[in-house]
Amino acid sequence: MDSKPYIDANQDTVVGDKTIRQICLECWEEVRIEYSKTGSFFGPKLKGINHLQVGDSSLIDSPLTIFIEKMLALYIRFSDAMYKLKRKLFPKKMLLHGSKKDCRLVGNLTFAEREDIQVPVHHMELIFWGRTRLGQWKMLSAGYSDEEGKFDLPFDLRAACSWRFRKLIFEINQISHVYYEEVNAKPHFVTFRQIPVPKGDLIGMSYNLRNIQLYLWEYRRDIPLPRVMIKDHNKDAPQYYSKARENAIKAQFIPIELTKLKHAEIIKVDPDKLSIELIQADYPKNLTVAIEEKIPGYTRSDDWFAFRFMNGMNNATYLPDPADPDLSWIYIYGSLQYKVNDQYAFPSVGVQCKMSDKGIPMPIAIELTGPISAWDKNPYQKHRFTPEQPDQWLHAKRAVRVSAALSSELDDHFAGTHVNTEQYAVAAYRNLRLSPVANLLFPHLKEVVLVNKTADEILIGPGYIPSASAMTAHGIVDRCVDVMGALNWKDWTPMRPLSDNHYYALAENLFWEVVGEYVDEFFVEYQDRIIKYWHEVYCFSEDLVNHSVPVFQSKRLNDENDPERTREAYYAERYRFNPNHPRRSVKGQLRAVSPITENKIYDPASDDWNQLKHACKYAIMIATFMHTWVNEHQYEDIGEVKYSSLGLRFGEKPEGIILPESDTSISPDLLRSTQMMWFSNLLSRTEFGFITRDEEGDINPLFKARLMEHKEVFLKYGIRVEDIESRTNI
């Protein structure tokens, strides 16, 4: 989702023969990159999204290796074709075989993780198959586990013991995807586990398969975040990327990967031959580079600064100035008490703003709290900059951009959308099966756990961010826990628009309205079934609450300069965080997420219905619009190394990071610079899975239609509805 860089302030200023507005629009069109989806036989190949690495993403460039890889690919294709042929020759028809029901398979399903072994796995689809000596599959019985995880599948004993069956198989299926045929959801099932049933053991009455423990969407226990356990996302992941998604990233990303590898090689051999400018030039132009070429200095101006903070990746929150109602503050929380390294600065920021006539809060002062140079590491030191000191003001704005970029990346992007969506995804996939809420949520919650696993490796520890910014891997996790502690579906509302130029907030409100209409209609349509399977909703809510992080609390309030003092109020405004919402204590800690329902059976007298609707809207909102916004704007706001990156080094000068962009001693080094470009391109330019394009047929046509109805209004806010992703998968 690219937003048009409408500039209200000074939009009519003429530069050459065009207005700034026209130039910005041209640049916006110019930087849209289209990748060729065709490659030559010996062209480089990327193994897949799971193989992405900051260092070497398993890109294959040796012709011999490529040839072997091609042969391997042919073999895999052949195997796939054989598998498909086998499926075609021996389909698993949902046709019940046998006439009596004089024997039963019984048992119960629970989760396998040590803290969950008493937790039943309800409503799993179970099928008892007979495999004939000719390979055919004959269904002997089918059903699903009950709310206690127990199952009781009746079947025809004589049919099962027939000589024609070579083996008998008890199959546990899970929903992998939900597709739509017109408005009807069609869940796609995949085999989760097969258990052979010895034919000789069937002697009538019931045969007990006993307690079957499933490693199904297990929560991680190694970090205090509601994340799913994935040991190897190629082999034992709870779900997998679709082929189309894999192909899309391969097609889009190989040129970027090659550029990074080229730079890495040059840095190894002769780093003097490379500079940040050359690195920048090798990557596709981003918006700020394109505008700078046409209007030098414009992207470093206060106008651009103000506009991008309001409508860019950071989409800042403005808190009223307690001393002056005409003024407001943007806060960005830096390193605070989190574990940081000693190479990079990450000061906390306060930007004092004054609303312009055009409805854009213009910066009038910048306050940096915390160390900005290697000379003084006092965490409470404060530095104030104003436009009256033009050079320092310029440098300080860059420091603000960098702090804001890292903060947005960690708080709004990683924690706010990725991990936040994952907590709903894990709870949903663990519990929603027969409830139509699964059909509502799954298309938007799928694949997030996979991309988060990749993010763990390439961005968190020991990935790019700890090496290119102040935050350590531990610090990132702690910070993520704190931010997640302020995120709750309860009474969440979109940002309040400040003016007609606050496109972000206007678009967010409109999208929320669209999601609201869609969810409302969905709930009316499937009311009976949602109520019938309310137990799933209850379990979904329980998992959500019990595994959510502790509710946010400011941790350190020793010094009057401590930015932590404003954090709770800021989070209340930014994330609509309400510390007084009803919450539950689990293991002695008050949890961040409020229960959706406390009732195992639907209680019409409660507010559960509205709460479930609100939670669903919130989950869809976060997984789609909120993620798309922050993800796709990265390339505009951190796609030029000198304009902004994720970290400025302290350098060796007393001024620290308050130095011009030309001073490369504080900029990221060459390797980090190319990785930075790789990183922003990867995240912003490899999307697949959009709501209205519906590449995989998994989006409810109702949602698409509702969104398309507002296409023109979204465009007015600079958003192409076709570019809004349906899920968080990059």
Partner 1 sequence: METASPNRAIHTEKTERNKFFGTWLGEKRDLLVLWLTAKLTGVMIALMYSVKRKKRMSHDNGISGIGTVHMVENQSFPPHEFFAPGKSYPIRIRHASATFLDDAMNCIRSMSVKFSHEEFRSPFDLEMNTGPIGLFWSAASFLQFAALRKQDYGIEYKDYYRKYPEGLVGAQVSLRRNPFSFTNLQFYCQTPFLYKGTDGLKRYAKYRVIPFDDEPETGIQTDMSEWDTCNQRILPDEARGRNYLKYEYVDRINQYGAKYRFQLQVHPSSEPDDPEVFNCMKLWDEHLYPWNDLGIIHITKVLSWEDSCRSSFSVGNMPKTLGILPAKSLYDYNSLNYLRMHAEVARKWRLFRYKFGGPPPPVPDNDNRNQGDWEQPS
Binding site for partner 1 (CB under 8 A): 94-99, 102, 106, 123, 125, 127, 139, 142-144, 157-158, 161, 175, 187, 189, 200-201, 203-208, 210, 433-434, 529
Nearer to partner 1, 94 or 134 (CB): 94
Nearer to partner 1, 40 or 99 (CB): 99
* Whole-number Å distance between alpha carbons of 130 and 162: 9
Query: Rounded to the nearest whole angstrom, what is the least distance from the CB of residue 274 to partner 1 in the complex?
Result: 56
Query: Rounded to the nearest whole angstrom, what is the least distance from the CB of residue 529 to partner 1 in the complex?
Result: 6
Q: For residue 109, give the H/E element and its range.
A: strand 103-111
* Whole-number Å distance between alpha carbons of 145 and 84: 29
Nearer to partner 1, 203 or 605 (CB): 203
Query: Rounded to the nearest whole angstrom, what is the least distance from the CB of residue 127 to partner 1 in the complex?
Result: 8
- Report which residue type is found at 181: E
* Residue 218 structure tokens: 């297990």
Query: Rounded to the nearest whole angstrom, what is the least distance from the CB of residue 94 to partner 1 in the complex?
Result: 5
Question: Does residue 504 sit in helix, strand or coil?
Answer: helix
* Whole-number Å distance between alpha carbons of 237 and 230: 5
Residue 398 backbone phi and psi in degrees, to 5: -65, -45
* Whole-number Å distance between alpha carbons of 724 and 518: 16
Nearer to partner 1, 365 or 530 (CB): 530
* Whole-number Å distance between alpha carbons of 87 and 85: 5
* Whole-number Å distance between alpha carbons of 728 and 730: 6
Residue by residue, DSSP assigns 393-445 as HHHHHHHHHHHHHHHIIIIIIIIIIIIHHHHHHHHHHHH-SSSHHHHHHHHHH
* Whole-number Å distance between alpha carbons of 511 and 721: 10
Q: For residue 184, give the H/E element and its range.
A: strand 184-197
Nearer to partner 1, 142 or 251 (CB): 142
Query: Rounded to the nearest whole angstrom, what is the least distance from the CB of residue 208 to partner 1 in the complex?
Result: 5
DSSP assignment letter at 497: P
Nearer to partner 1, 150 or 166 (CB): 150
Nearer to partner 1, 304 or 540 (CB): 540
Nearer to partner 1, 35 or 144 (CB): 144
Query: Rounded to the nearest whole angstrom, what is the least distance from the CB of residue 97 to partner 1 in the complex?
Result: 5
Nearer to partner 1, 181 or 201 (CB): 201
- Choose among 139, 126, 146: nearest CA to 191: 126
- Report which residue type is found at 701: P
* Whole-number Å distance between alpha carbons of 21 and 677: 26
Query: Rounded to the nearest whole angstrom, what is the least distance from the CB of residue 165 to partner 1 in the complex?
Result: 14
Query: Rounded to the nearest whole angstrom, what is the least distance from the CB of residue 517 to partner 1 in the complex?
Result: 25
Query: Rounded to the nearest whole angstrom, what is the least distance from the CB of residue 96 to partner 1 in the complex?
Result: 4
Radius of gyration of the chain (CA): 28
- Report which residue type is found at 218: E
